[in-house]
């Protein structure tokens, strides 16, 4: 495994600094900064063994300019003023992963938070701020309490909009586990972009007994189908390994296949992905993990990466205002979300059986009376159907859940025949179910009520019958 020796020289014009200043004046409200066409090409290079965070060295090695770079900043550390200004000077969009690694208790409306935001505002250029990402992963100190997470997110967002309108708030879960992703969503009014972190590994957890067969497109598709109808999507971190410690073997062929799958699919399958950033780290060599994700360690990866991104779709500079849209148009037939008051209802969209965000609007449930199909007990959830009798479900219906008086339910998950379908923390707890995609006959609906820490506290299963089509 050698180091790439490409000597292509990249010359980035110094007009980027002037351009950045013009853009922020034209778009003081940073709720967008969305490219009209294409996708920002981004990366993480702070731990790259070759460049050590030097943009010129990295871009010379891979032969590709990038529109954005990110770095990690721990909550409690100073705002990286010098680095952000240098990115703006080059015409690069700075992307900060700001992590409260000591937990959410440290996040409060105080001098540190306001001083940090004031410093961000003084840069007068756009900043992608990815706060507390991978919150659905149990490895994070800020994981577990969804309500506290959302409250702290909203607090931080309010102060950012007050003191640093140039900040773009990026909410970013990890690709797995999927079942808790939506429960951490702060609401449409509080998020500018939705992100997702995805890694293509040959084995899970460095364990030879756990081979990985994941397709990165399917990890992306889950988040994409939930949010892309109304939010731009960012793949905030992506990498495919070319060395796997679990099998002590070069897996370049595997990594190239995954890299190609994802990057080739973006223009046609995922047009609302507006940024993708490669995590360029030899995690194995640095002792961080069991895989080598570095581009600059692999000439084969450099060649493939350059080939895949060598087109106008992948944006390599900060665009001018004519190439931006203020916000992503909502998909046809989808009503815009209402403005959410501070600490108001927490709205989480339910996932349809077959999500089709860019097709026809979802059917509206009929005005038939609520038909109860669940027995109410001391620890049960009352389950009901709107739209059709439970003995002959047809078309689009709504599954509605009413917690018992003795239950403090913050979130409800919906399952059909044991397969997870949706989760919501918006009362009344509802799941729009299009039975046209189900086989006729008997089915079981299971609902699980959870508390503010996402711990199950009640469960009810009811039986229904889907009528034959036609």
| Residue 452, pLDDT score | 67
| Residue 385, pLDDT score | 83
With the C-alpha atoms ordered 53, 56, 59, 60, is the resulting torsion angle positive or negative?
Answer: negative
For 262, which DSSP code? H
The vertex-131 CA angle with 125 and 136, nearest 5°, equals 150
Residue 462: closest CA among 363, 377, 357, 352: 377
- In 101-144, where do the E strands start and end? 127-131
> pLDDT tens digit string along 152-199?
999 999 999 999 999 999 999 999 999 899 999 999 999 999 999 999
List C-alpha distances in Å: 378 to 123, 404, 406, 458, 463.
57, 7, 7, 10, 20
CATH of domain 371-466: 2.60.40.10
| Residue 359, pLDDT score | 28
List C-alpha distances in Å: 306 to 43, 87, 235, 263, 459.
13, 22, 18, 11, 51
| Residue 210, pLDDT score | 67
Helix (H, G, I), strand (E, B) or coil at 157: helix
Interatomic CA distance for residues 386 and 462, integer angstroms: 15
Beta-strand pair 68-74/34-35: unpaired
Residue 161 burial by Cβ neighbours in a 10 Å radius (0-12, 13-18, 19+): middle
Domain extent listing, the chain = 15-325, 371-466
Which pTM value belongs to this model? 0.68
Q: Does 15-325 carry CATH code 3.20.20.80?
A: yes
Which residues on neighbouring strands pair with residue 123, listed in sequence order? none
Give backbone dihedrals phi and psi of 412, rounded to 5 degrees, phi first: -130, 130
Residue 39: closest CA among 332, 329, 308: 308
Contacts 24+ apart (CB under 8 A), 112-118: 112/76, 113/156, 113/159, 114/159, 114/163, 115/79, 116/78, 116/79, 117/159, 117/160, 117/162, 117/163, 117/164, 117/167, 118/163, 118/164
Residue 84: closest CA among 69, 92, 72, 94: 94
pLDDT < 70: residue spans in the chain:
1-31, 204-211, 330-380, 390-391, 452-454, 470
């Amino acid at each position: 495994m050698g180091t790439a020796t490409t000597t292509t020289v990249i010359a980035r014009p110094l007009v980027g600094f002037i351009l950045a200043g013009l853009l922020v004046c034209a778009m003081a409200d940073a709720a967008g900064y969305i490219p009209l066409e294409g996708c920002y090409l981004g990366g993480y290079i702070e731990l790259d063994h070759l460049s050590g965070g030097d943009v010129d060295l990295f871009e010379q090695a891979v032969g590709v300019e990038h529109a954005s770079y990110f770095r990690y900043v721990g909550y409690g550390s100073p705002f990286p003023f010098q680095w952000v200004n240098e990115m703006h000077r080059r015409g690069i969009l700075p992307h900060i992963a700001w992590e409260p690694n000591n937990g959410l208790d440290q996040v409060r409306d105080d001098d540190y938070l306001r001083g940090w935001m004031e410093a961000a505002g003084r840069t007068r250029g756009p900043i992608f701020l990815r706060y507390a990402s991978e919150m659905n992963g149990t490895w994070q100190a800020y994981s577990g309490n969804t309500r506290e997470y959302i409250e702290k997110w909203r607090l931080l967002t309010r102060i950012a909009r007050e003191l640093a309108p140039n900040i773009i708030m990026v909410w970013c879960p990890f690709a797995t586990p999927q079942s808790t992703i939506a429960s951490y969503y702060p609401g449409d009014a509080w998020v500018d972009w939705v992100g997702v972190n995805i890694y293509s590994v040959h084995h899970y957890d460095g364990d030879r007994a756990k081979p990985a067969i994941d397709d990165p497109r399917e990890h992306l598709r889950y988040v994409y189908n939930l949010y892309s109808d109304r939010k731009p999507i960012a793949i905030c971190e992506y990498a495919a390994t070319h060395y796997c410690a679990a099998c002590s073997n070069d897996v370049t062929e595997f990594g190239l296949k995954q890299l190609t799958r994802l990057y080739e699919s973006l223009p046609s399958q995922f047009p609302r992905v507006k940024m993708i950033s490669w995590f360029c780290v030899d995690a194995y060599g640095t002792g961080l993990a069991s895989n080598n994700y570095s581009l600059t360690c692999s000439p084969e990866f450099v060649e493939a990466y350059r080939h895949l991104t060598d087109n106008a779709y992948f944006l390599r500079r900060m665009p001018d205002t004519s190439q931006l849209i203020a916000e992503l148009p909502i998909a046809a037939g989808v009503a815009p979300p209402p403005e959410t008051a501070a600490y108001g209802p927490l709205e989480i969209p339910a996932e349809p059986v077959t999500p089709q965000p860019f097709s026809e609007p979802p059917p509206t449930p009929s005005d038939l009376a609520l038909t109860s199909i669940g027995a109410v007990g001391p620890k049960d959830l009352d389950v009901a159907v709107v739209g059709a009798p439970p003995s002959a479900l047809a078309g689009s219906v709504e599954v509605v859940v009413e917690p018992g008086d003795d239950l403090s339910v913050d979130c409800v998950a919906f399952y059909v025949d044991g397969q997870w379908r949706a989760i919501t923390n918006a009362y009344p707890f509802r799941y729009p179910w299009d039975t046209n995609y189900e086989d006729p006959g008997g089915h079981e609906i299971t609902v699980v009520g959870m508390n503010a820490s996402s711990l199950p506290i009640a469960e009810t299963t009811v039986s229904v019958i889907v009528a034959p089509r036609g």
